[in-house]
Every structure is written in structure tokens, then in C-alpha cells.
Structure 1
Amino acid sequence: MGIRRNIATAGAVTALVVGATTAFSATASAAPNVTPQGVCGSAYKTVNSVPVGSLGTVYLTYNSTNGKNCVATIRTSPGKVKAMSTYIYVPATDEYAGDNGNYTSYAGPARVYGKGYCVSWGGSIDNVYVSVENSNCASLKERRTVEVR
């Protein structure tokens, strides 16, 4: 009786380990939905973008229902971990949101309330930094900056 219980226990543990390994490997290898809407949410529509050299793009999106802007920096070719960032700032309200770290495909989302305000936003991938100042407002002309460090 003791031998049968040990064999049954070993079989159950093996099945649990194989099942967990399969579940975790499927999750780890699944590619994320790397679009601005996949990062920010389906209600956010892309209103502006700026390339980060040939490495990717920073997207500015807007949700007309809640008045929020969202920014995401998305790599052209996901792969090895790289330093990445994304940010958005509303000068009139001094509201700021950002994200930075080492990522394989995107940085973000970063969200702020921006209805009726000019926004400044940007991001980076590796050593290429982009910023857009005074964006998406009629009163000021936007200014784009690209810097390689």
C-alpha cells in the first residue's frame, strides 16, 4: 500500500511540474500586443508620434471619454532587454507621468489628464532620446528634439 501511494504521489507531482512548466513557458514566450492601443487601452486613439531613430516610435494617444493622454515607447524589433523610457508632462497643471527601465518591447503606459492643454512628451530607446514640446495645441508650435548620447 505504501509503494502504491508513493508512485501515485510521484505521478501527481510530475504531472503538476509538467503542467506548471508548460503554463509558464507559454506565458513567457507569448508576444505582447505591442501597439499603442495594446499598451494604453482600446479607447485611446493615436494623435501623434515621433520615431526614436530606427529603434522604435513614441506614440501620443488620447481618450476623449476621460480626457486623458497616454504615451508609450514601442520598439520596432522586440528582443534583448534595452534601456527604455516614456514620459508625458502638462506644463499648465504641472502633471507628470513616466516609465523607465529595461524592457524587451515597450515602455509605458504613462497617463495624464490633458484635455484642453498643451502636452510635452517623449521617450528613449538605448541611447536615442526624443522629446516633443508644446504638442497638440493650437496656440503654440511644437518643437521636436532628437538626441543621441
Structure 2
Amino acid sequence: MRFIRSALAATALAALSVGTTTALAAPASAAANTTPQKVCGSGYKTVNSAPVGSLGSVYLTYNSANGKNCVATIRNNPGTAVAMSAWIYVSDTDQGDEDYGQYTSYAGPTYVYGKGHCVDWGGNISNVYVQVSGSNCGTLKEHRVTFTR
């Protein structure tokens, strides 16, 4: 899927439409104490995060050895599978990755080469969506949006 930088509403609509088509996908296993490093890999360090209401958090991680960013959305309380997503996009290279589905514990990992680039990233748990734009790029100020649908 080609990534297009757009309003959060478009991202939410895509998450809902893809979520309904992947309802039969195998859910991620519910793992107690899941961390972004367990989802993304041991070389990844958390560089940013955003709460998804009271349901969990979306984490942006970075691996300095390979220049890649990874995003994972992790629930606070694993349980019955719900619609979840994790996504990342680099607008100036038009590269991105996404994971949408019904999961019990986490969505992701999603990876993109991000060394020296601003990244847009986010995710959702159930009906709460988070989008962070222009993130982790020096002096520019990022923009965060959270909404419930």
C-alpha cells in the first residue's frame, strides 16, 4: 500500500476498513510484560511514545546500527482480540510500513529506514487513534493528535 500523508480521519477509516477484512487473521499472542524491544528486537531503543487513551501506548524505537525505526502498539491489559494498528511513514522518502488487525496484546512491528529523516507514526487500540507527525527530527516540533471514534 502506498503511503499518503493525510489527515488522521483517513488513517482511521483505513484502519477500520482493513480491520474488518482481517478479522479472521491470527491474533498476536497475549504476552505479559510485552515491551517495544520484545516486539521490535533487542537492538531497538525507545525514542518516543504516545498514550492510546488508557488502553496502552504506541512506541517509536530506533536501531542506530541499521538506521531503522520500528513502531509497536502495546495494550496495557492483553485479552480478547480487538482492532489494533501500528504504522510508520517517512514522507520525504515515501517509505512506510503498517500492521492492522485483530490482536490480543500488540500490533507491529512496523519498520522503515529513518536515519536523518522526520517520521510520522501512530496506531490504535479499539476506537482510540493516535497520530504523531514530524517526529524525532531535531528542532522541528512534532504534532500529536488523539481521537476516539
TM-score (norm 1): 0.78
Q: Quote the residue 2:52 is aligned against.
A: 52
Equivalenced residue count is 121
What is the CA-CA distance between 1:139 and the residue it aligns to?
4.1
Structure 2: distance between partners of 1:69 and 1:42: 13
Asked if the contact 2:84/2:101 (under 8 Å) is kept, the reply is yes
Q: Which has the higher helix share?
A: 1
Q: Distance in 2 between matches of 1:35 and 1:146?
A: 22
Q: Which residue of 2 aligns with 1:129?
A: 129
Corresponding residue number in structure 2 for 1:35: 35
Q: 1:74 to 1:30 in 2, by over 3 A?
A: closer
- For residues 88-146 of structure 1, the C-alpha deviation after alignment (integer angstroms, 9 at most, x for no partner) is 00011000101010000000000000000000000000000001000001242100000
What does the per-residue CA deviation read over 1:8-27, in whole Å, with 9 as the maximum and x for residues that have no partner?
xxxxxxxxxxxxxxxxxxxx
Q: 1:110: which partner in 2?
A: 110
Tell me which residue corresponds to 1:93.
Answer: 93
> Moved runs in structure 1, 4+ residues, more than 4 A?
none
Residues in 1 aligned to 2:66 and 2:104: alpha-carbon distance in whole angstroms: 30
Counterpart of 1:92 in 2: which secondary structure? coil
Higher relative contact order, structure no. (Cα contacts within 8 Å, ≥ 6 residues apart): 2
Q: Give the corresponding residue for 1:73.
A: 73
Q: What's the CA shift string for 1:17-48, capped at 9, x where partnerless?
A: xxxxxxxxxxxx88366100000000000000
> Partners in 1 of 2:42 and 2:33 — Cα distance?
11
Question: 1:9: which partner in 2?
Answer: none
Tell me the secondary structure at the aligned position of residue 80 of structure 1. Answer: coil
CA displacement, residues 53-105 of structure 1 (integer Å, 9 cap, x when unaligned): 00000000000000000000000000011000010000110001010100000
**Partners of 1:33 and 1:39 within 8 A in 2:** no
Alignment of 1:7-46 (within 5 A): 31=31, 34-46=34-46
Unaligned runs of 5+ residues in structure 2 are 1-28
Q: Secondary structure at the match of 1:51?
A: strand
Runs of 5+ consecutive residues of structure 1 not aligned to the other structure: 1-28
